[in-house]
Structure 1
Amino acid sequence: MIEVTDEDRFLTPAEAAAYARRSIRTLARMRAEGRGPSYHRHGNKVLYAFSSLRAWMCQNMVTPNGVSQ
C-alpha cells in the first residue's frame, strides 16, 4: 500500500480556503485574475496541491521588520 503524506494531498477549494484562511470566493477571484496559489483543473473540478498551497503561503511571509522574504 502507498503511504500518502499531507504534502501529497489535494485539497478542494473549500479545504484550501479554510487552510489559507481566505474565502472560497477570494480563491476563485485569484484564479480568474491569474494570481494566487497554483491549482489543477480536472474537467470542471479545481484542486490545490497541499504542497503548492503551503509554498504560496510561505512566499507571502513578511518578517517583523516589514521586509518580504
Structure 2
Amino acid sequence: MGEGFFSFSIALVFYFANLWAWTYFVFIVGLFISRQRLDDEFCAEKYGPEKWAEYQARVKYRIIPGIY
C-alpha cells in the first residue's frame, strides 16, 4: 500500500498539469488489482473451495477496507 500512496502523492503534486504523472498511479492500481485476482485463484486452489469461501465470507474487502 505504501507504493500506492507514494504514486498517488506524486500524481497530486502535479495535479492535472502533467498527465504523465498519473500514469504511474494508474499502473500501480492496475498491478494491485491484477495481483489480488491472481492471489484469489491461487488461494482457492491451495486451501480448497469450501475453506476459501469461508474466508471470503469473513473478510468482505480485498485490498482497502470499506472501499474494495
TM-score (norm 2): 0.27
Higher RCO (CA < 8 A, seq sep 6+): 1
Greater gyration radius: 2
Q: Say which structure is richer in strand.
A: 1
Q: Say which structure is richer in helix.
A: 2
